[in-house]
């Protein structure tokens, strides 16, 4: 397995990777006028992606890992946590926040538990991970237009490397911003602001894809429109964070219409 080459940049919390440029073509379906509009982003300069739940539907694998290990230690009197608990207390959060929530009286134990859970997750995800529908067509569309791109994640470095590599996106991302290496992780806007700085692009011409309330809040607080994915969280929950609109996956006609409009706006 090829490893993702990450290079730390000072203490601001950035990891960079140089990539070779490639060109591909992504044919867009026509969209109706009822689709949402992000024409104010034209000319589009960059697209930023979260990792877990945004590049792939990995939340169910996280849930399995948490269920197994929490049950082993008798958490919740041995009753496995359910999806509702996972969404409310775990999904999209940094491990430091999860550890505090699950083990408020022994955060050190919580952090050790999270490390063990991540190791189990990596074993499970290596066999199960696959890109969300339409993702690879979208990445080709992005490359063909020469747009800049970065992954911005609260996931541990090892998880981000593994998922990006398994999805075949090692050469796609020009930067990977880790929340753990920033002053504050999401929902703080810092990781997304750092991505803008590293890519040397403006928030006025950058689009974000996220799947969690924490991530959407971070992107919105950084001043960018965020397209929310309903891979692991209910639409009603995500809408509380004020995304521009929601999609099921990257083949969603709403997204294709928005991208086509941006193409037309650029050429007009």
Q: Is 106 a catalytic site residue?
A: no
Cα dihedral angle (9, 46, 134, 186), rounded to 10 degrees? 50
Under 8 Å between Cβ of 70 and 110: no
Of these residues, 29, 50, 105, 106, which one is catalytic?
50
Q: Is 144 a catalytic site residue?
A: no
The residues, any chain, with a CB within 8 Å of residue 36's CB and separated by 6 or more, are 244, 245, 254, 257, 258
Of these residues, 2, 52, 57, 211, which one is catalytic?
52
Would you call the peptide bond into 43 cis, given omega within 30 degrees of 0 as the criterion?
yes
Q: What angle in degrees, to the nearest 10, is found between the helix axes of 135-144 and 253-267? A: 10
Give the three-class secondary structure for 15.
strand
- 17 vs 172: CA distance, rounded Å: 10
Q: What angle in degrees, to the nearest 10, is found between the helix axes of 95-102 and 107-128? A: 120
Catalytic residues: 50, 52
């Amino acid at each position: 397995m090829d490893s993702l080459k990450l290079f730390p940049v000072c203490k601001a919390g950035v990891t960079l990777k140089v990539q070779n440029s490639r060109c591909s073509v992504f044919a867009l379906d026509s969209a109706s006028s009822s689709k949402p509009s992000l024409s104010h982003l034209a000319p589009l300069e960059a697209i930023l992606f979260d990792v877990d739940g945004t590049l792939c539907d990995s939340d169910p694998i996280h849930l399995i890992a948490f269920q197994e290990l929490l049950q082993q230690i008798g958490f919740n009197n041995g009753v496995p946590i359910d999806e509702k608990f996972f969404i409310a207390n775990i999904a999209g959060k940094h491990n430091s926040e999860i550890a505090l929530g699950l083990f408020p009286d022994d955060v050190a134990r919580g952090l050790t538990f999270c490390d063990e859970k991540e190791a189990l997750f990596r074993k499970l995800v290596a066999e199960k991970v696959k890109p969300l529908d339409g993702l690879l067509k979208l990445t080709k569309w992005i490359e063909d237009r020469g747009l800049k791109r970065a992954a911005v994640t609260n996931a541990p470095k090892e998880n981000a490397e593994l998922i990006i590599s398994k999805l075949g996106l090692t050469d796609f991302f020009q930067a990977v911003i880790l929340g753990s290496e920033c002053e504050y992780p999401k929902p703080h806007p810092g990781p997304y602001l750092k991505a803008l700085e590293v890519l040397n692009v403006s928030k006025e011409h950058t689009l974000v894809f996220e799947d969690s309330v924490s991530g959407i809040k971070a992107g919105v607080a950084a001043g960018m429109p965020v397209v929310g994915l309903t891979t692991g969280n209910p639409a009603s929950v995500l809408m509380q964070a004020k995304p521009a609109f929601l999609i099921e996956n990257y083949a969603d006609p709403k997204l294709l219409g928005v991208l086509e409009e941006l193409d037309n706006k650029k050429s007009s």
